Amino acid sequence: MENLAVLGAGLMGHSIALTAAWAGIDVALQGVDDADIGRAEQGIREKLAVLQEHGLIREQEIEQICGRIHTTVSIEEAIRGATFVIEAIPEQLELKIAFFRRLDELCAPEVLLASNTSGLSPTAIASQMKRPQRMVVTHFWNPAHLIPLVEVVRGEQTDDPTVKRALDFLKMMNKRPIEVKKDILGSVGNRIQYAIFREAQYILEQGVASMEDIDAAVTYSLGRRLPVTGPFMTADMGGLDVFHSISSYLFADLSKADGSYEPMSRLAESGNYGLKTGKGFYDWDQQTSQAMNKRREKELIHFLKQDLAGESEQD
């Protein structure tokens, strides 16, 4: 069993710590100050309350899970005795480079150092480490305690034992890890997600459909299949002759833009960032935000229950 430390107690950091504790693993969670730790502890308890509400845990398990999470504002204290460290600090390359250089100096050579970056290069992050072979990306998807996938991304100098350790430990955390064999921007999931988003922006900018209908086209068609069949399985089931034929004329007509289209740029440049500011493509008041978060949470828990039931049947 690895000894886990999660450095960074924000939304992703405390969700990762919760994931480990829910799987029965003790974890040290480090925050920048007492207020940061307080917010993390509140977030963990709120998430546990939702899990209990949906029958995924019992009330008596809440204190057991919380008892496995040991909080501190000291990096040195958090990593003491750790064999597996996950960084979950802000998504800034220079900040992460300096952070991993420091971790490389503080941690014993056998300690695995992982970053939760969603798209930065592990090769770049490890560029000032003396032992870059022990650094790997473990990209959890938000919300980390509900979405099974974790992308394990190797840098140019990451060695095979590091990748295997990461994959094995994530499975112990009840996650569904995949290995990303090359250091590529966006890894796998975000490249697919942003390919869809680019085409959605193009369709909107061209006046083909409204944003509401574009969203509906995804959620009520291909979105219904995606929990069961990924793109290659969908193609096999639909017939490769059909997909080959459509690809031959449709690919050339798809968006090839190398940046955001005007509607997206206008919103972002005017400070309208979506839910966090109250306005984006949609308007977000507190009631709307809470309702959509609960709806998303409910659907993710529905699928997580199916995942857990499937694992029980296999056992």
For 131-169, how does the pLDDT look when each residue is reduced to its tens digit (9 = 90+)?
999 999 999 999 999 999 999 999 999 999 999 999 999
pLDDT 10s digits, 283-305? 999 999 999 999 999 999 999 99
Residue 241 binned pLDDT confidence (cut-offs 50, 70, 90) = very high
Closest by CA position to 203, among listed 211, 195, 212: 211
Residue 14 binned pLDDT confidence (cut-offs 50, 70, 90) = very high
Closest by CA position to 119, among listed 15, 197, 194, 178: 194
Instruction: Please report the domains of the chain, with CATH numbers, ordered by start residue.
Output: 4-186 (3.40.50.720), 188-259 (1.10.1040.10), 261-296 (no CATH)
Taking 60 as the threshold, does the pLDDT of residue 2 lie above it? yes
pTM: 0.93
Taking 60 as the threshold, does the pLDDT of residue 315 lie above it? no
* Three-state SS at 154: strand
pLDDT of residue 1: 83
Percent of the chain with pLDDT over 70: 98
Closest by CA position to 165, among listed 38, 154, 157, 156: 154
How far, in whole angstroms, is CA 306 from its chain's centroid? 20
- Flag the least confident range among 128-132, 193-197, 230-234, 306-310: 306-310
Residue 100 binned pLDDT confidence (cut-offs 50, 70, 90) = very high
Taking 70 as the threshold, does the pLDDT of residue 312 lie above it? no
Exposed e or buried b per residue across 192-219, where buried means at least 16 C-beta atoms within 10 angstroms of its C-beta:
eeeeeebebbbbbeeeeeeeeebeeeee
pLDDT 10s digits, 38-72? 999 999 999 999 999 999 999 999 999 999 999 99
Average pLDDT, the chain: 96
Other C-beta atoms lying within 10 Å of the C-beta of residue 275: 13
What residues have CB less than 8 Å from 167, skipping those under 6 apart?
Answer: 152, 177, 179
72's enclosing H/E stretch is strand 69-72
Q: Average pLDDT of 201-205?
A: 96
Residue 309 binned pLDDT confidence (cut-offs 50, 70, 90) = confident
Percent of the chain with pLDDT over 90: 96
Q: How far is CA 284 from CA 170, 219, 269, 287, 297, in A?
A: 35, 19, 18, 8, 17
**How many whole angstroms separate alpha carbon 137 and alpha carbon 118?**
9
Taking 90 as the threshold, does the pLDDT of residue 105 lie above it? yes
